[in-house]
A = this chain, B = another copy of it.
Amino acid sequence: MTLQANDSQIDFQPVGKRVTVAKYTTLLEAAIQAGIDLASACGGMGLCGQCRVRLLAGAATPPNETEKDTFSELELARGDRLACCTEVEGNVRVHIPRESLLIGQRLQVEGDDGELQVDPLVRAFEVVVPPPALSDPRADLARVVAGLPETVQVGQVHAEPAVLDQLSPLARAENWRITTFFRREELVGVAPAGSHPLGYAVDLGTTKVAGYLVDLSTGGELARGGVLNAQIGYGEDVISRLAYAHRNPDGRRHLARMIQESLNELLGELVAEAGATRSQVVDVCIVGNTAMTHLLLELPIRQLAVAPYVAATATRVEVKARTLGLDTAPGAWVYVPPSIGGYVGADHVAMIMATGLDEVDRVTMGIDIGTNSEIVLRQPGRPHLASASCASGPAFEGAHISDGMRAASGAIEVVHLTPNGADIKTVDDAPAVGLCGSGIIDAVAELYRWNLINHRGRFKSDSQRVRRGRQSLEFLLVDEQNSGSGRDVVITQEDVNEIQLAKGAIRAGLEVLLEATNTAPEAVEEVIIAGAFGSYLDIQSAKAIGLFPDMPNARFRQVGNAAGVGAKQMLLSQEARTRAERLAAGADYVELTVFPKFNRKFAMAMLFPELIGPQE
């Protein structure tokens, strides 16, 4: 390779990746080009402080004001930088600390399958017919139809050119003994005799993507897996991503390709794990919030990014899998279920399906906590579900928190304060490098229980356990000697305030939704907590900080990735799709911000509730 005068070579350690970029490219951009999943919550705008790296050698632009605010003089002296603020001026060597990487994260793909109904849209039929002859020159497709079992009502069979392009050579190679996959009257794929039809269900989260490979004839799951949403490098919350997609030429296409490629790679892994072939994958169901499905499908997003946040469509979308770059059976369709309103999307519908919230016979609330959180209320006897969306932000995912991180190795997930310090538990029991969502909630609950913050969330400056940090008061959880990053792990005043904003948004949404539906809080008989974060959350801590109302623990049920289970249901069952469309059409979307009392409720919900008293 010949280096041009204006090229710089970047050597990323310890991942050992090299990339050549133009001079004055930022290290964040270079990392993306190198395929490194460098954390960045703000999409490279210098706001989140997550893309910390260390410049080991070589020349770059000097630290800017943001970096000077972010790092101590010692840190700056040893080369600590924000990758998004650092433009290379020559060949450089860069160290990426573990906590800045998105790899090795715990990806929640488990959920309670319950009983899955199996009445798939695509069915397999074995076909054995005589080969063509001059005396029998029927078309290949007609020959297949003639070979179908007599019990099959095929009517006007048709197939796309891409499918016929596989049928003609395969039928001859297999001497006219093949498996055909039909979606109603449409032939969507062919495979050697004896092949089962498979389906691919996806829960496309803002942060995480969970995929499931399912046998459509039995309903059995053959493989499952998770990857991070590759769009994360362009913004951790949906608004940042919509802004990127809208602001940059080809931004929308770029983000779509990114997630489409991830979905295709994940499918490849699942198919390999199951010992199957891609030509068996004849149906796909993808759920996600409204922004994610819009970005996946390259729907118009300009009107979704600004008030009044209008979706292009809330009905189901069906597109050919290959138009999304998915390498499946050539005629396979992707089904994206309908959404309800605002950002309350197909994933919420899937969650309702999986938990049976549309059919339970007691007053039940469902909460799916994520970067956007959705709340749904079921009141038996009333025909409509009521749903609302809260812009809770990514704090529960570890973003906007000074030592926040996702649930990766070394993330503190459980915190108990002791008289002399803190008992912590980390993911993988690795040395602590930061806090993930459940750890942050635990920590804030403990600080409040131990009276180290007041009910407005202010650190008590007169406590000996509270120290003055670089920018504000803070509490030391793990000191630099014991941490995995060589830096203190702390909870700052700003962190507490971020958590107050996030939990306040959800709590206010919950209360407004109850009021809007004339439901007394005590009438709620069950609260279902869905989503990855919700699975690890300590209910007691969540109640202590006022995220949830003070109800008996037994009323809470943590169900894991219900959206993924719902996606599987709709993949496997036509009746489930009909039910999804019915419930989505019949669900009321409650726009919280137009509710007169919302602002006041939000302000109140940011406070901590009356102290129950420190545990232990």
Instruction: Say how far A594's CB is from chain B's closest CB, in angstroms.
Output: 5
Known: A135-B594, A156-B581, A161-B298. A142 touches B313 (CB 8 A): yes
Judge if A274 is at the interface, Cβ distance under 8 Å: no
Judge if A165 is at the interface, Cβ distance under 8 Å: yes
CB-CB nearest in chain B for A316: B158
Chain A, residues 154-184, CB within 8 Å of chain B (1/0): the string is 0011111100110111001000000000000
- Contact, CB under 8 Å: B161 / A317: yes
Interface residue stretch chosen among A299-307, A378-386, A486-494: A299-307
Taking CB atoms, residues of chain B closer than 8 Å to A164 are 299-300, 312-313
Taking CB atoms, residues of chain B closer than 8 Å to A300 are 164-165, 167-169
CA gap between A507 and B134 in the complex, in Å? 21
Taking CB atoms, residues of chain B closer than 8 Å to A341 are 137-139
- Contact, CB under 8 Å: B140 / A313: yes
Taking CB atoms, residues of chain B closer than 8 Å to A172 are 303
- Contact, CB under 8 Å: A160 / B319: yes
Taking CB atoms, residues of chain B closer than 8 Å to A275 are none
Taking CB atoms, residues of chain B closer than 8 Å to A315 are 139, 141-142, 156-159
Judge if A132 is at the interface, Cβ distance under 8 Å: yes
Taking CB atoms, residues of chain B closer than 8 Å to A132 are 303, 308, 310
Selected from B158, B168, B307, B319, the residue in CB contact (under 8 A) with A134 is B307
CB-CB nearest in chain B for A134: B308
Chain A, residues 347-362, CB within 8 Å of chain B (1/0): the string is 0000000000000000
Q: Which residues of chain A in 113-138 are interfacial with respect to chain B, using CB atoms and an 8 Å cutoff?
A: 132-138
Judge if A297 is at the interface, Cβ distance under 8 Å: yes
Judge if A593 is at the interface, Cβ distance under 8 Å: yes
Judge if A424 is at the interface, Cβ distance under 8 Å: no
Taking CB atoms, residues of chain B closer than 8 Å to A259 are none
Judge if A589 is at the interface, Cβ distance under 8 Å: yes
Chain A, residues 326-362, CB within 8 Å of chain B (1/0): the string is 0000000000000101100000000000000000000
Known: A161-B297, A300-B169. A139 touches B319 (CB 8 A): no
Judge if A428 is at the interface, Cβ distance under 8 Å: no
Instruction: Say how far A174's CB is from chain B's closest CB, in angstroms.
Output: 14
Selected from B165, B169, B312, the residue in CB contact (under 8 A) with A167 is B312
Instruction: Say how far A606's CB is from chain B's closest CB, in angstroms.
Output: 22
- Contact, CB under 8 Å: A342 / B591: no
Taking CB atoms, residues of chain B closer than 8 Å to A142 are 313-315
Selected from B133, B160, B593, the residue in CB contact (under 8 A) with A308 is B133
Instruction: Say how far A318's CB is from chain B's closest CB, in angstroms.
Output: 7
- Contact, CB under 8 Å: B308 / A168: no
CB-CB nearest in chain B for A589: B137
Selected from B133, B141, B167, the residue in CB contact (under 8 A) with A314 is B141
Taking CB atoms, residues of chain B closer than 8 Å to A303 are 132, 140, 168, 172
Taking CB atoms, residues of chain B closer than 8 Å to A317 are 158-161
28 A/B residue pairs, CB under 8 Å, sorted by A = A132-B310, A134-B594, A135-B308, A135-B594, A137-B341, A137-B342, A137-B591, A138-B341, A139-B310, A139-B313, A140-B303, A140-B310, A141-B313, A141-B315, A142-B315, A156-B316, A157-B315, A158-B318, A160-B317, A161-B298, A161-B319, A164-B312, A165-B298, A165-B300, A167-B300, A168-B299, A168-B303, A169-B302
Q: Which residues of A contact B (CB under 8 A)?
A: 132-142, 156-161, 164-165, 167-169, 172, 297-300, 302-303, 307-319, 339, 341-342, 581, 589, 591, 593-594
